[in-house]
């Protein structure tokens, strides 16, 4: 029986490269000279610290631009709330979203079931497996999911015939 997996993955090396490029640009820009701006990446979150809210928003924008150029979907970077930090600084955490949460997986499976296609969808860990009798049905499900907005990037893997 043909099947495929719906996943939401991100290349962590590309995120690291985007953070490094953003750090280099911040260090070279004139408007950031003498500021205490820094970007740190720890595999799940990107921590951004700066002198004021305006500079922090500029750093986050630089980070998003670098991520887009490296092929990372902006939906996978969730910008958190700007909070005050020690020493009159402000901080913000940018969460790197990976995997499909249970709530969103339930929405995915219900959207597939509501489409009345002859396929089954089941949640497995942080992905959704879709099985059907025909490849054409599975391709229709892929088109359906591409057309809907689930606020996270979706990839289709392990297509088996």
Specify whether the CB–CB gap between 97 and 77 falls below 8 A: yes
Q: Helix or strand or coil: residue 19?
A: helix
- Specify the pLDDT at position 69: 94
Indicate if 24 and 80 belong to the same structural domain.
yes
Domain assignment of residue 128, given as a range: 3-8+100-160
Specify whether the CB–CB gap between 51 and 58 falls below 8 A: no
Q: Helix or strand or coil: residue 91?
A: strand
Overall pTM surpassing 0.85 (yes/no): no
Indicate if 16 and 90 belong to the same structural domain.
yes
- Specify the pLDDT at position 18: 92
Specify whether the CB–CB gap between 100 and 108 falls below 8 A: yes
Structural domains counted in the chain: 2
What is the pLDDT confidence band of residue 144, given thresholds at 50, 70 and 90? Answer: confident
φ, ψ at 158 (rounded to 5°): 55, 45
Distance CA 86, CA 69 (A): 33
Indicate if 79 and 37 belong to the same structural domain.
yes
Indicate if 89 and 147 belong to the same structural domain.
no
Partners of 47 in the beta sheet? 40, 93
Q: Helix or strand or coil: residue 117?
A: coil
């Amino acid at each position: 029986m043909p099947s495929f997996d719906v996943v939401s993955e991100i290349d962590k090396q590309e995120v690291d490269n985007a953070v490094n490029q953003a750090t280099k640009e911040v260090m070279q820009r004139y408007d950031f000279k003498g500021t205490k701006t820094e970007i740190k990446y720890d595999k799940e979150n990107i921590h951004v610290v700066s002198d004021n809210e305006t500079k922090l928003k500029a750093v986050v924008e630089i980070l998003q631009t670098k991520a887009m150029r490296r092929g990372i979907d902006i939906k996978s970077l969730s910008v958190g709330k700007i909070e005050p930090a020690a020493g009159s600084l402000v901080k913000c955490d940018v969460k790197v979203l990976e995997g499909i949460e249970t709530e969103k997986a339930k929405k995915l499976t219900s959207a597939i079931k509501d489409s009345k296609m002859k396929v089954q969808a089941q949640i497995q860990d942080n992905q959704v497996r879709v099985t059907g009798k025909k490849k054409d049905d599975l391709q229709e499900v892929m088109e359906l999911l591409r057309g809907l907005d689930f606020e996270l990037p979706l990839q289709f893997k392990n297509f088996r015939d």
